[in-house]
Structure 1
Amino acid sequence: MRQSRLAARNQAAAARIIVAPLSTRVAVISDVHANRHALEAVLDAIVAERPDELWCLGDLVGYGPQPNECCSAVAARADLCLAGNHDLVVLGSLSIHDFAGDAATAARWTQTVLADDAREFLAGLEPSGRRDGIELFHGSARDPVWEYVLSEEAAWWTLHATTAPLVLVGHSHVPLAIGFDGEDLAGGVAPDGTVVDLAAGRWLLNPGSVGQPRDGDPRAAYLLLEPGRRAEFHRVDYPIERTQAEMRDRGLPEALVARLTEGL
């Protein structure tokens, strides 16, 4: 049942993809997860970089305590935004039974507090998109909603499902830079300060997570992109304890609170 719903949604998404002119400098974020303090820190850092556009790869809500504030901020700032699985479940487009215990608990709470304007914004998003020469997926090209690109096999399938020289994905909460020279894949986790030469072959990049990193670095993550030239991975500190206090105030699961400290 889940696959049939997703197939229908992905076909509809493909029909509505908007193709827009390529920007010269782009900031890319993903997996905000209702963490306003992390998002504000990233947006402040991005302002200093003076990008032409801001792109978001989805999952504005889920897990965290301030879904409405995060939706409002991204709606006001982002030039392109995708829908993630946590966005879709709060809209009822996915079954909450497809989510694990703590994620389902947070999704149910989010459904009770999500404002009409936030709901309307999320409802207008799709899990995949395209800019000139760049393909964007929340998950992967093979499954834009659910698949994690964490293995060479998953990266290979996504790169072979499109001819784009650059593919951007989110969902895994792990920053990645994986290159493909036509025969072999090379790369992996991209820590803070990683610089990628985009002129050298094809690339799959994941900016990492703003609101719930899972690579052992608790700092909020973002990516600066000069299409066809280079990409830079960045991290920024934010007041984790403030987000954790807000999560506890709202009765969100303690396991979700604790993992922010370690970035896992």
Structure 2
Amino acid sequence: MKIAFISDVHSNYYALKSVLENIKKEKANEIYLAGDIIGYHSMPNEVIELIKENNIISIKGNHDYDIINKRFDENIKDFKIWTYENLTEENKKYIINLPEELIIEKNNIRIKIVHGSSRDIAEYLFENSKQIEKEAENLKEDVLICAHTHFPYIKKIHNKIIVNTGSVGKPKIAKPTPNYIILNTENKEFEIKFVEYEVEKMCKDMKNKGLSEKHIKELRLGKVIK
């Protein structure tokens, strides 16, 4: 069977729609979402409805947690407040009820799914960091699926596999190309997938709804602007 792992959609409906079309072509049997469904962009309700329609199994990310608990920090509070105010009550409940981690087993492969790390929903596990070494040492499962960095990778450490799902809705790979992971459970191979989409549709929707020009520019460029 094939399993798709996605994350960091960040209210980007058009990116998610294109990724799901690609996953369908890949004939994946299941889809798991490693958090950060909402935030930054302007179509949170549409994204959540698409997740429900496609029976995607999700966990919370740090943005989901912060927005639903009204934790609005000064640097990025504009889109967090906007998202909270524009979410339907039903979709707020959907986010609230999401777990913060999942453990699954497929074809004798035990997989732990988190957003940041096993320790912290907002911890960054970069590919060549000391943190990733510690994570692998302490991992009881065969595979850790993580997200949060928006940089996809597949890394083998201490007979474990650490996989970062990258980002569907806010890539940081110096181009606005959504990315995700496919696992073939028969040969136990992971693959990073890249998908094109019409980024300008998302930018136009953000502009029409009065969201930050900075975040519109970041979306176009596929990187963070300081």
Percent identical residues: 27
Between 48-57 and 157-166, the greater mean CA deviation after superposition = 157-166
Q: What is the TM-score with the length of structure 2 in the denominator?
A: 0.91
Cα separation, 2, equivalents of 1:79 and 1:121: 13
How far 1:79 moved relative to its partner? 4.1
How far 1:89 moved relative to its partner? 1.6
Q: Among 27, 36, 43, which residue is 2:20 paired with? A: 43
Q: Among 120, 125, 134, which residue is 1:157 paired with? A: 134
Counterpart residue number, 1:125: 98
Cα separation, 2, equivalents of 1:249 and 1:237: 23
Counterpart residue number, 2:217: 258
How far 1:67 moved relative to its partner? 0.1
Q: Among 171, 192, 208, which residue is 1:233 paired with? A: 192
Secondary structure (helix, strand or coil) at the match of 1:96 reads coil
Cα separation, 1, equivalents of 2:77 and 2:215: 12
Counterpart residue number, 1:18: none
The number of equivalent residue pairs is 217
How far 1:152 moved relative to its partner? 2.2
Counterpart residue number, 1:113: 86
Distance 1:48 1:63, change over 3 A: same
Secondary structure (helix, strand or coil) at the match of 2:197 reads coil
Matched-pair contact (CA < 8 Å) for 1:142–1:161: no
Matched-pair contact (CA < 8 Å) for 1:141–1:161: no
Q: Deviations over 1:145-196 (max 9, x none)?
A: 110111421211221222211110011111011211x3xxxxxxxxxxxxxx
Cα separation, 1, equivalents of 2:89 and 2:189: 39
Cα separation, 2, equivalents of 1:152 and 1:90: 28
Matched-pair contact (CA < 8 Å) for 2:153–2:192: no
Matched-pair contact (CA < 8 Å) for 1:90–1:111: yes
How far 1:95 moved relative to its partner? 2.3
Secondary structure (helix, strand or coil) at the match of 2:156 reads strand
**Gapped regions of structure 2 (runs ≥ 5):** none
Cα separation, 1, equivalents of 2:167 and 2:22: 15
**Gapped regions of structure 1 (runs ≥ 5):** 1-23, 183-200
Cα separation, 2, equivalents of 1:153 and 1:240: 35
How far 1:62 moved relative to its partner? 0.1
Matched-pair contact (CA < 8 Å) for 1:155–1:178: no
Structure 1 segments (4+ residues) deviating >2 Å: none
Q: What is the TM-score with the length of structure 1 in the denominator?
A: 0.79
Counterpart residue number, 1:170: 147
Matched-pair contact (CA < 8 Å) for 1:248–1:254: yes
Counterpart residue number, 2:34: 57
